[in-house]
Structure 1
Amino acid sequence: MSSETDRMTSLFDVKTASYTQDEAFKASVKYFNGDELAARVWVNKYALKDSKGNIFELTPDDMHKRLTKEIARIENTYANPLSEEEIYAVLKDFKYIVPQGGPMSGIGNDMQISSLSNCFVIGNDRDSDSYGGIMKIDQEQVQLMKRRGGVGHDLSHIRPSGSPVKNSALTSTGLVPFMERYSNSTREVAQDGRRGALMLSVSIKHPDAESFIDAKTEQGKVTGANVSVKIHDDFMQAVVEEDTYVQQYPIDAPNPRYTKEINAKSLWDKIVHNAWRSAEPGILFWDTIIKESVPDCYADLGYKTVSTNPCGEIPLCPYDSCRLLAINLYSYVQNPFLEDASFDFDLFRKHVRLAQRIMDDIIDLELEKIQGIIDKIKSDPEDDEVKRIEMNLWKNIAQKAKEGRRTGVGITAEGDMLAALGLRYGSETAIDFSTEVHKTIALEAYRSSVELARDRGAFPMFDIEREKDNPFINRLKDADPQFYEDMKEYGRRNLACLTIAPTGTTSLMTQTTSGIEPVFLPVYKRRRKVNPNDKDVRIDFIDEVGDHWEEYVVYHHKFQDWMKTKGYDTDKNYSNEEIDKLVEESPYYKATSNDIDWVSKVKMQGQIQKWVDHSISVTVNLPNDVSEELVGELYIEAWKSGCKGCTVYRDGSRAGVLVSNDKKEEEAKAPSKRPRELEADVVRFQNNKEKWIAFVGLYDGKPYEIFTGIADDEEGIMLPKTVEKGVIIKNRNEDGSSRYDFQFQNKRGFKVTIEGLSYKFNPEFWNYAKLISGVMRHGMPVVDMIGLISSLQLNNDSINTWKNGIERTLKKYVADGTKAQGRECQACGSESVVYQEGCLICKDCGSSKCG
C-alpha cells in the first residue's frame, strides 16, 4: 500500500475517541466562527453519538470525513469511482454539497439502527377503509417515525361519516376520529428530542373534506399533524365560476356509492379562512402534481402518487421514500456584493452532476441501513405475528428504493445568492435568473442520472415510451435534444431526481438563507427557550403553552458579509435607526419574507416549479392585517401559475421563534403559576330550573380561572344576591392541602370570607373546572376557550348543563364584534356570526341567539 494511500486512510478514518458535550460545543463554536446557534444545532442533531449520549466527533469536519469515507466505499463498488479527495472537497465546510437530516446524521453511524430517508409515504395496496387497514397504517407510521422518518398518508379512501358498515357501529364515524388517532400516535413517538412529523391529506372530492378542513380549528385536536387538501382543477373551476361541485365516495369511482352536491365557493372560503387564521390547511394542486409527475408514468407498476411528505416537497407513492441533499447556491457567486459579482455556472454544472451521483450512492447506503433494520426485526424476541407488519413495511420500502432509486437533490441559500449578485428577490430580473439556475439543475441532474445509467444500469422499469408525453421530460428534451437522445440509448438511473425542501437546520450550518426562501430579516431577534433551572437569564416572552423565552439581536451572516464588503464595522453597537439605514443601503432592502409581493413570490414558485420534478416547499409570508380575500386570490394565482402546492403564513397567526427587531414588546401574558389572590367576578344564571353561580378569577381583567356549579342555599354557596365582585384567595389547610376561598365586602364595609369553594361544589364539576382553568391560564383566547368547551363530548346530562353554564359565563368576556368561529346563523345559514354583549348576532340577517 502506497504512502499516499496510507495518508488518505488516516485522513478519512472515523475517530473513536469520545468527547463531552462541552468539548464538542466549544470546538464547534470555533469551527463556526463564534456562531453558538450553529454549533449547538450540529452537536445536538448531527454529531456522531451513541445511545448513551457519548459524542465521537469534535467538529463538523469529523462528520464530513465520516460521510466521505462511506460514500467513497460505495463509489469503489462501481466503475470509475470518485476519489475521497473529490468527495471531501465538495462536502467540507458546508460550502457546496450538504446531505440533509437523515443522511448527515446516519451515514457511517453504526451506533443507531435507523433509516437515511428523510421522508416516506405509506398506504394500503388497495383503498382499504377497514379497521384492519386503518390500524395497519397507524402501526406503519409509528415504526417509521421511531427510525427518524417523516411520514405522509392520504385519508381519501376512508368512507364518509354516516356511511353504513357491517359491524356493531352500523355507520362510519368518518375521517376526523382517525385524524386524531394518527396525530396522537405522532406525538407519542420521540425522535432524539423532537416529535415525529406527519402529513395527512384528503381529496376535495371526499364528502368529509369540510370536516377534515375544520378538524384543526378545534383547540387541542390534531396537533401532531400537518394537513393539506388535494384540490382538483374541476373544483377550482367551480370556485371561479361560483358553481356547485359534486363530492363522491369512492372518490375515483365511475359509479360512486355516495354523492353530495355542495357550494364550491362556500367550501373554498372555509379553506381560505382557516389558512388565514392558522396557516392550515395547505393546498396541493393535485391534477398539476399528477400531470407533471414522472413517476406516475409508471403508476400501473406501483408508482401512483397518493400523498406527500410532511412539508409537501416530495409527492410519493405508497412505501416510497426519499433522501435529501442541498446545494449551497451562495458559494457559486464570485465577488459577492461587489459590482462585478457573477455566478460560476461551469463549476455549478459540475457540482450538480456530482450531487446527483452522491445521491445515488446514498441510495445504496440506505439499502444497507434497511437491511440492518430488517436483521434487527428478525432478531427481536417478539412473535413473528407481532413483527409481521413492521417486517413487511421495510421490505416494501427496500423494494421501492431499489427499483426506483428516487433522489432529492435540492438547494439552499437562494435568497443570499440573489442578494450577493445585486438582484432583489421577487423582481422580474431575479425571477428570470433563479429560473435559469433551476433549469440548469434539472438538466445537469438528469444528465448525471443518464451517465450513471450508462455506467451502473438504469432503474429496471425505465421505458422512454411511457414518459414521451410527460410535460417535465419534454421540457428537458426541448432544452437539450442531445440529452434526450442519450437517455433513449442508456436509460436513466433514477426514477425522479429533484426537490426543493425546507432547510431549517441545514441553513443554520451553511449560515445562509433557507431553501428557496428570501431572508427572514437582515437583523432580527431570536428566541431561546429558557429551561426552569437556568440562572441569570432574562424572560422576554411567554408563549401560549407557558414556555419561557429569552430574546437577543442577531445579524444575518451574509448581511454581515455585505457590511464588511462596504467597510462597515460589524462590532459596533448600532441604534435601531442606524440599522434601518444600513438595511436600506443593502441588497436585502425590500427583499425580506414580509416585504416580497405575494404575486411575485407565487409567480417565482410557478416558474421554478417547471424545472423541479417533485415539488417545492415554500411559504408565502403575509402581514397580520391582510384580508381573507387576498389569501383566496393568492391561492387562485398559485393554481393558475402552475404551482403544485401553496402554503401561506399570516404574521402572528402562530407563535414563532423569530421576531422582528423593531416589533413592539409582546403583550404580557398571565403567569402559569397562580398568584395567591385574584380579583373575581360573580356571575349568576339559571339553567332550566336550576340556579347556578360562577366565580371568575381575573388577571389584567381577563379570565384566568373559573369555578361554577349549582347554587344551593342549604348546602352550597350562601352569597347575598347583591355581591358581584370579590377576591379568590388560594390558601392551605392544616394538612397542607390547598383550598380556594372567596372574600367580599358586605354593605357595612366588613370583609366576609367563604372558605373552601371546592367543598361547596360537586367534586366532578370542580375537577372539570380546574382542568379548564389550567388551559385558560396558558393564554388561550376566550373565544377559543368557548369553542373548546362547546366541543366537549359529555354523556352525563348534569355535566352538559354545567358545560352550558361555563359557556354562558365566559361569553360576557368576549369583545363585541368578535367572530364566532365555526358557528352558522340558524336563521339564514350565514357564517357572519359575531358576539355582541354575550349574544350571537348574525350580521347578515340580524337574528340573535343568547345563552
Structure 2
Amino acid sequence: MLGSINLAEFVKADKVFDFEKFEKTVRISVKALNEVLDEGLPLHPLQEQKDSVRDRRQIGLGIFGLADMLIKMELRYGSKDAIEICELIGLKMAYAAIDESSNLAEEFGIFPKYNRNAIMQSAYWRRHTSTDNRDRVLAFGMANSQLLTIAPTGSLSTMLGVSGGIEPIYANFYERKTESLHGRDEYYKVYTPIVKNYMEKFNLKDVSELPDYFVTAQTLDYHERIKMQSIWQKHIDASISSTVNVPNNFTVKQVEELYMYAWEKGLKGVTIFRDGCKRAGILTTPSKAGSAEKSVEQILPRGMIIKADDNCIGKKRTLTTGCGTLHCEAFFDQDTGDLLETYFSKGSQGNCNNFMIGLSRMISLSARGGIDIYSIVDQLKSCGSCPSYAVRSATKKDTSKGSCCPVAIGNALTDMYEEFINEINEDYDDIKPKSDKQSRKKNLMNPCPQCGEPLAFEGGCNICKSCGWSKCD
C-alpha cells in the first residue's frame, strides 16, 4: 500500500521547513495506510496475496515535491545545505513512522511474521530509534514489516504541478506546438509551475534570469544527483524509484564511472537515462539556436537487424487480387511507430503463395534493418501490371487498389501505418509524404497514448506532463 507526502507544502513563509507539522503528517499517513491495507485485504484475488499482506503488513510511505521544496527554501538541489536538510527530513520521517507503527502494534497487535531478534539486530532500526522510544518499540513490537519507499509519483506530481519523488525538476519550461489556432506550426513555451510563479512574482522575462538554485535534470551533475539519492537511501527501508538523466554525449566510460560512484555511495540501485536514446520520447527543450529539438532518429549500423519482440501492435487488411483473396498483416512498434513484421498469405496454395511468403519475409527484414516504410512501399509500387489483376479489374471491378499484388500490398501497408500513427495521435502534417518517392521521418517517437503529447522519462517511468498518464500506474 503506497502513499506520498508533498514536501513543498511544509515550507513556511520564512523559508524554513516545518518539522512539527511534517511529523504529524507522517503519523497520520502511517495510520491511514494501515486502514487502507485492512480495507483492501479481502479484495486480493489470490489467497497467497492475502496471506502475504496479512502476515507482513507492508506499507510504503514516500515523498514527492522535493525539488519544489528546495527551490522555495532557496537551496540548490545537490548542494551541501540541501543534503543536510534532506538528512534531517529523512531521519524525522523514519523515526515518526517507526514510532507510529509501534503505537499501532500496542493497540492492534504486531504483524504475524514479526521477529523481535531480527528487529534488534537491524542497523536501520537502531539508527532511527532513540532511548525515548526504543524500549517501548521492543516491548510492543511493530505493526508493519515495511514502512517507507519512494515511488515515481508521476500522476500525483503532475496533477499537483510539482516535481515527482526525489527527482529534480525536469526542465524550466517545455516546447508545445499548435497548428489549429494559427493554421501553421507555432511553438510556445509552457513553464514548470514553480518557475512560472517565480517569474511572475519577480517580473522576470527569461529563464536565464532565474537564481542558480533553479537546476534541472539536464543540467545537474550526476554526482550531486547520486549524493541526494544516497542520503534518502539511508532513511528508506524499502526501495527508491529514481532516474539520473545524462546528456547524449555521455560515454561508456562515464556510465561505468556513474555506476561505480552509485555503488560507493551505498545505493541499492540506480537508473540512468541517456538523452536521445531510441525509446526517448522526452519533452522537447530549446536548442542553442532557439528552435525546438526534434527526437533523434535511430540509425542502425549497416548489417544490423533489430529483433521484433511481442511488444508490437498488429493491423490487418484483406485484399482482393487477380488470383483471389490476399491476407495482409503488419505489426508496428507501439513506442516508435516503426514497421517490424509483415505476413502475407493467399487463399490458394502453390507458387504464388510461396512468393507472398518470401516477399513478406524480405519486407520484414528490410524494416528491421532500418529501412523506413515509405522507401519499402516506393519499391513495391515500382512493379508493373499483372495480367490476372488487369482482367479481374476490368471484368469484376472488385480488386483492391493497385495494378498487381506488390502494389496493392504497398497501398495496404501505407494505409495501416497511417491509421496506426493516427491512433497514437501523431501529427499528420509531419508524417504525410511530400511525394511517393520521398521517405519520411517521424517527428515524435513516444507520444502519450491518452492525449498525444510527448512523454517524459522520470523516476524510472514514462509519464505525461499534460494529462498525467503514467505507464507505471
Tell me the equivalent position of 2:374: 704
User: 1:496-515 alignment to 2 at 5 Å?
Assistant: 496-515=146-165
Which of 489, 511, 516 is 2:166 aligned to?
516
How far apart are 1:551 and its partner, in Å?
Answer: 6.7
- Is 1:330 aligned with 2:8? yes
- For the 8 Å contact 2:401–2:411, the answer to whether it is kept is no
* Aligned position for 1:603: 227
Does the 8 A contact of 1:326 with 1:411 survive in 2? yes
Q: Indicate conservation of the 8 Å contact 1:431/1:604, yes or no.
A: yes
- In structure 1, what is the Cα distance between the partners aligned to 2:193 and 2:225? 23
| Corresponding residue to 1:362 among 19, 27, 36 | 36
Structure 2 CA distance for partners of 1:624 and 1:458, relative to 1, 3 Å: same
Shift of 1:770: 8.2
* Greater radius of gyration (CA): 1
* Cα displacement (A) at 1:610: 1.0
Distance 2:236 2:15 in 1: 26
**Residues 526 and 431 of structure 1, relative CA distance in 2, 3 Å threshold:** farther
Amino acid at match of 2:87: T
Secondary structure in structure 1 of the residue aligned to 2:206: helix
How big is the shift at 1:483? 2.3
Change (3 A) 1:399 1:625: same
SS at match of 2:284: strand
CA offsets, 1:578-600, max 9 Å, x none? 423233x3631xx1011111111
Q: Which runs of 5+ in 2 are unaligned?
A: 298-335, 340-361, 422-473
From the superposition, tell whether residues 644 and 668 of structure 1 become closer, same or farther in structure 2 (CA, over 3 Å): closer
C-alpha contact 1:705 1:774 (8 A) present in aligned 2: no
Q: 2:15 aligns with which of 338, 341, 353?
A: 341
2:105 alignment partner AA = A
**Per-residue deviation at 1:504?**
0.8
Aligned with 1:493: secondary structure?
Answer: coil
Alignment of 1:575-614 (within 5 A): 578-583=205-210, 585=211, 587-588=213-214, 591-614=215-238
Residues 1:636 and 2:260 are matched in the alignment? yes
Give 1:68's aligned residue: none
Q: Which residue matches 1:466?
A: 118
Alignment of 1:416 with 2:63, yes or no, is no
The 8 Å contact of residues 383 and 406 in structure 2, kept in 1 or not, is answered as no
Structure 1 counterpart of 2:192: 556
Alpha-carbon separation, structure 1, partners of 2:98 and 2:295: 52
Superposition pairs of residues 448-847 of structure 1, within 5 angstroms = 448-477=100-129, 480-525=130-175, 553-566=189-202, 568=203, 578-583=205-210, 585=211, 587-588=213-214, 591-653=215-277, 654-662=279-287, 664-666=292-294, 704-706=374-376, 728=382, 734=393, 735=397, 736-739=399-402, 756=404, 758=406
3-state SS in 1 of match to 2:32 = helix
> Residue 411 of structure 1: SS of its match in structure 2?
strand
| Secondary structure at 1:497 match in 2 | strand
Q: Deviations over 1:162-188 (max 9, x none)?
A: xxxxxxxxxxxxxxxxxxxxxxxxxxx
Return the offset for 1:527.
7.5
Q: 1:406 to 1:538 in 2, by over 3 A?
A: farther
Q: CA deviation at 1:440?
A: 1.1
Q: Quick check: 2:176–2:188 contact (8 Å CA) kept in 1?
A: yes
Pairing of 1:87-126 with structure 2 (within 5 A): none
Give the residue type in structure 2 aligned to 1:587.
Answer: Y
Instruction: Spell out structure 1 runs of 4+ moving beyond 6 A.
Output: 534-540, 671-674, 694-697, 729-733, 766-779
Q: Distance between the aligned counterparts of 2:50 and 2:93, measured in 1?
A: 27
Residue identity opposite 1:619 in structure 2: T
Alpha-carbon distance in structure 2 between the residues aligned to 1:673 and 1:400: 42
**CA pair 665-486 structure 1, distance change in 2 beyond 3 A:** same
Gaps of 5+ in 1: 1-322, 374-393, 529-533, 541-549, 570-577, 675-693, 709-724, 741-755, 760-765, 780-851
Q: Distance in 2 between the 1:448 and 1:495 partners?
A: 13
What is the identity, as a one-letter code, of the residue corresponding to 1:473?
A: W
Q: Contact (CA 8 Å) 1:704, 1:777: kept in 2 or not?
A: no
SS of the aligned residue for 1:481 comes to coil
User: How far apart are residue 435 of structure 1 and its match?
Assistant: 2.0
Give the TM-score normalised by structure 1.
0.37
Q: Measure how far apart 1:561 and its partner are.
A: 2.4
CA deviations over 1:293-339 (Å, ceiling 9, x no partner): xxxxxxxxxxxxxxxxxxxxxxxxxxxxxx1111010000012xxxx
Counterpart in 2 of 1:353?
27
Aligned to 1:813: none
CA distance in 1, matches of 2:280, 2:337: 17
Query: SS of the counterpart of 2:48?
Result: helix
Note the C-alpha offset of 1:438: 1.2
Distance 1:600 1:455, change over 3 A: same
SS of corresponding position for 1:592? coil
C-alpha spacing 1:505/1:672, structure 2 compared with 1 (3 Å): closer
Q: CA contact under 8 A between 1:704 and 1:776: conserved in structure 2?
A: no
One-letter identity of the residue aligned with 1:483:
N
- Asked whether the equivalents of residues 157 and 163 of structure 2 are also in contact (C-alpha less than 8 Å), the reply is yes
Instruction: Determine the C-alpha separation between the residues in 1 that align with 2:57 and 2:217.
Output: 35
Give the conservation status (yes or no) of the 8 Å contact 1:434–1:608: yes
Percent same amino acid at aligned positions? Answer: 29
The 1-side partners of 2:338 and 2:60 are apart by 47
1:569-627: CA deviations, max 9, x gaps? Answer: 7xxxxxxxx423233x3631xx1011111111112212210100001000000011111
Residues 471 and 538 of structure 1: CA distance in aligned 2, closer, same or farther (over 3 Å): farther
SS at match of 1:704: helix
TM-score norm. by structure 2 comes to: 0.63
User: Which residue identity lines up with residue 739 of structure 1 in the other structure?
Assistant: G
- Partners in 2 of 1:404 and 1:527 — Cα distance? 49
| Aligned residues of 2:124 and 2:237 also touching (Cα < 8 A) | yes
| 1:616/1:726 CA distance change after superposition, 3 Å | closer
Distance 1:580 1:774 in 2: 43
Shift of 1:672: 8.6
Deviation at 1:705, TM superposition (A): 3.3
Alpha-carbon contact 2:402-2:411 (below 8 Å) kept: no
1:341 positional shift: 1.0
- Aligned letter for 1:643? L
Change (3 A) 1:673 1:341: closer
CA RMSD of aligned residues (A): 4.1
> Aligned equivalents of 1:489 and 1:400: distance in 2?
24
Query: What do residues 800-838 of structure 1 show as CA deviations (whole Å, max 9, x unaligned)?
Result: xxxxxxxxxxxxxxxxxxxxxxxxxxxxxxxxxxxxxxx
CA drift of 1:727 comes to: 8.1
CA 1:639/1:769 → structure 2, altered by over 3 Å: closer, same or farther? farther
Q: CA distance change for structure 1 residues 497 and 673 in 2, over 3 Å: closer, same or farther? A: closer
2:270 match: secondary structure: strand
Distance in 1 between residues matched to 2:163 and 2:274, nearest whole Å: 20
Q: Which amino acid aligns with 1:502?
A: P
- Tell me if structure 2 keeps the 8 A contact 1:525–1:551: yes
Following TM superposition, by how much is the alpha carbon of 1:402 offset from its aligned partner in structure 2, in angstroms?
1.4
Q: Which residue identity is paired with 1:758?
A: P
Question: 1:598 & 1:453 partners in 2: Cα distance?
Answer: 41
Q: Deviations over 1:127-179 (max 9, x none)?
A: xxxxxxxxxxxxxxxxxxxxxxxxxxxxxxxxxxxxxxxxxxxxxxxxxxxxx
Displacement after TM superposition at 1:704 (Å): 3.1
Counterpart residue identity of residue 738, structure 1: K
Deviation at 1:703, TM superposition (A): 7.1
